[in-house]
């Protein structure tokens, strides 16, 4: 490539996507990071104009050593793992991948809702392990999904998609929190905007879909859990640290709430020593909210398009910090 541009690609891009990037830059690929190649990765980033990939590992020191870096294109909608303030200071553009994962992540949330209410995994284990020896009775009954009140904490794109499934597919009354009311959700679904405390005390199923940041750190703590109904379930497809995991473990253990369905944890992968593994009333998934073939492919393409658009000056579709970027570059 004559442009003299260099891109570092970490994880998750297929051959076609890498070829597309190679039309605008030289591309150095890291399939994964480990003890042996982490230094090489840092060195590559220090020479790069663009960094693209999933679960990007980028810290302030790396930014300080990467004077050419212009664009970071993450294959995720969340970007809590990236040092945004420092990127703003340095005029580095950050792009994410919204929209393309909305419906898939809403499907995952609903799978957790269904499975948690009806105890699907626990009862499947009973069959597999040869413990289905008599007719199932009360002690194995679940709770309905249809008609139950669904509380959406953070009615953004994904939250709205979950609310639609609940209201239109399962006749569920919808409560939601959001920075501002969403008239379209109220008109379409009869959803009701309310304060978190009210949502927690009224919902049968509480579904967390907020981005993780200083305002949402441990949003669900012991006090919040205590506000929930004792037969309620907590679903988390957002980020583990939105919940005080220790408090949740206590609450599940003592029956403060009935159950939880979790796709995200305060530390991932979840430690094999986590007390969560000892609880029957929690369903655990390995962060697969967006993990379908179709959606991961669409996310990677979206990140590739963002990278190329940004590096070639055509403009990225999903610029997270466009305003700060313009300011840093002297545009208004």
Least distance to ligand 8YV, CB of residue 15, Å:
20
- The residues with which 152 forms a beta bridge, in sequence order, are 176, 207
Nearest partner of 172 among 214, 144, 200, 201, judged by Cα: 144
CB nearer ligand 8YV, residue 189 or residue 300: 300
Q: Output the smallest distance, CB 113 to ligand 8YV, in A.
A: 18
Q: Left, alpha or beta for 5 (phi > 0: left; psi -120 to 50: alpha)?
A: beta
Residues 6+ apart with CB under 8 A from 140: 119, 123, 126
Encoded tokens for 41: 């990765």
Closest approach, Cβ 78 to ligand 8YV, in A, equals: 3
Piece in contact with ligand 8YV (CB under 6 A), picked from 62-70, 71-79, 130-138, 310-318? 71-79
88 makes contact with ligand 8YV (CB under 6 A): no
Q: Return the number of the residue (261 or 289) whose C-beta is nearest ligand 8YV.
A: 289
Q: Which stretch binds ligand 8YV (CB under 6 A): 59-67, 76-84, 181-189, 242-250?
A: 76-84
**How many angstroms separate the Cα of 121 from the Cα of each of 112, 138, 223, 281?**
10, 17, 29, 10
Q: Which residue has the tokens 């541009």?
A: 5
| CA dihedral sign, ordered 5, 29, 321, 313 | positive
For the record, the structure tokens of 228 come out as 């929930």
Q: Which of 20, 47, 55, 118 binds ligand 8YV (CB under 6 A)?
A: 55
Count the site residues for ligand 8YV by CB under 6 A.
9
101 binds ligand 8YV per the rule CB under 6 A? yes
Span of 44-52, 75-83, 116-124, 138-146 interacting with ligand 8YV by CB under 6 A:
75-83
| Residue carrying structure tokens 């919040």 | 224
Considering only 73-81, 86-94, 142-150, 265-273, which stretch makes contact with ligand 8YV by CB under 6 A?
A: 73-81
The binding track of 168-197 with respect to ligand 8YV, each residue x by CB under 6 A or -, is ------------------------------
Q: Which of 247, 145, 159 is nearest to 204 (CA)?
A: 145
Residue from 50, 151, 240, 289 that binds ligand 8YV (CB under 6 A)?
Answer: 289
Residues 6+ apart with CB under 8 A from 33: 10, 41, 57
Q: How far is the CB of 110 from ligand 8YV (least distance, A)?
A: 16
Q: Is 76 in the site for ligand 8YV (CB under 6 A)?
A: yes
Dihedral sign for Cα atoms in the order 32, 33, 37, 41: positive
Position 156 contacts ligand 8YV (CB under 6 A): no
Q: Which residues are catalytic?
A: 239, 268, 287
| CB-based closest residue to ligand 8YV | 78
- To which H or E segment does residue 30 belong? strand 26-30
Using CB under 6 A as the binding rule, whether residue 98 contacts ligand 8YV is answered as: no
211 versus 275: smaller Cβ distance to ligand 8YV: 211
Nearer to ligand 8YV, 101 or 203 (CB): 101
Strand, coil or helix: what is 284? strand
CA distance 172 to 165: 9
Could you check whether the bond before residue 67 is cis, i.e. omega within 30 degrees of 0? no
Which token pair is 74? Answer: 């993450």
Regarding 157 and contact with ligand 8YV (CB under 6 A), the answer is: no
Binding residue for ligand 8YV (CB under 6 A) from 290, 306, 321, 324? 290
Which position among 77, 145, 243, 251 is part of the footprint of ligand 8YV (CB under 6 A)? 77
Report the alpha-carbon angle 43-63-71, nearest 5.
95
List residues near ligand 8YV by CB under 6 A: 54-55, 75-78, 101, 289-290
């Amino acid at each position: 490539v004559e442009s003299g541009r260099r891109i570092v690609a970490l994880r998750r891009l297929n051959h076609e996507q890498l070829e597309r990037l190679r039309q605008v830059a030289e591309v150095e690929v890291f399939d994964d990071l480990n003890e042996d190649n982490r230094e090489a990765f840092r060195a590559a980033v220090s020479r790069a104009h663009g960094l693209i990939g999933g679960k990007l590992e980028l810290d302030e020191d790396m930014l300080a050593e990467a004077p050419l870096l212009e664009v970071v294109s993450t294959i995720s909608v969340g970007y809590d793992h990236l040092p945004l303030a420092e990127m703003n200071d340095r005029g580095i553009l950050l792009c994410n991948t919204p929209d393309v994962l909305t419906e898939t992540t809403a499907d995952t949330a609903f799978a957790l809702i269904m499975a948690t209410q009806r105890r699907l995994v626990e009862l499947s284990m009973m069959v597999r392990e040869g413990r289905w020896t008599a007719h199932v009775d009360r002690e194995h009954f679940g709770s309905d999904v249809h008609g139950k009140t669904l509380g959406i904490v953070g009615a953004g794109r994904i939250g709205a998609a979950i609310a639609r499934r609940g209201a239109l597919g399962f006749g569920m009354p919808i409560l939601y929190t959001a920075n501002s009311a969403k008239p379209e959700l109220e008109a379409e679904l009869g959803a009701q905007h309310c304060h978190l405390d009210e949502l927690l005390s009224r919902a049968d199923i509480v579904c967390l879909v907020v981005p993780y940041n200083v305002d949402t750190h441990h949003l669900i703590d012991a006090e919040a859990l205590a506000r929930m109904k004792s037969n309620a379930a907590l679903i988390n497809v957002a980020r583990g640290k939105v919940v005080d995991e220790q408090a949740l473990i206590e609450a599940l253990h003592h029956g403060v709430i009935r159950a939880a369905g979790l796709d995200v944890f305060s530390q991932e992968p979840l430690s094999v020593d986590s007390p969560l593994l000892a609880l029957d009333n929690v369903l655990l998934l390995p962060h697969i909210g967006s993990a379908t073939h179709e959606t991961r492919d669409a996310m990677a393409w979206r990140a590739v398009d963002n990278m190329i658009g940004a590096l070639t000056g055509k403009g990225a579709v999903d610029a997270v910090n466009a305003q700060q970027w313009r300011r840093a570059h002297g545009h208004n």
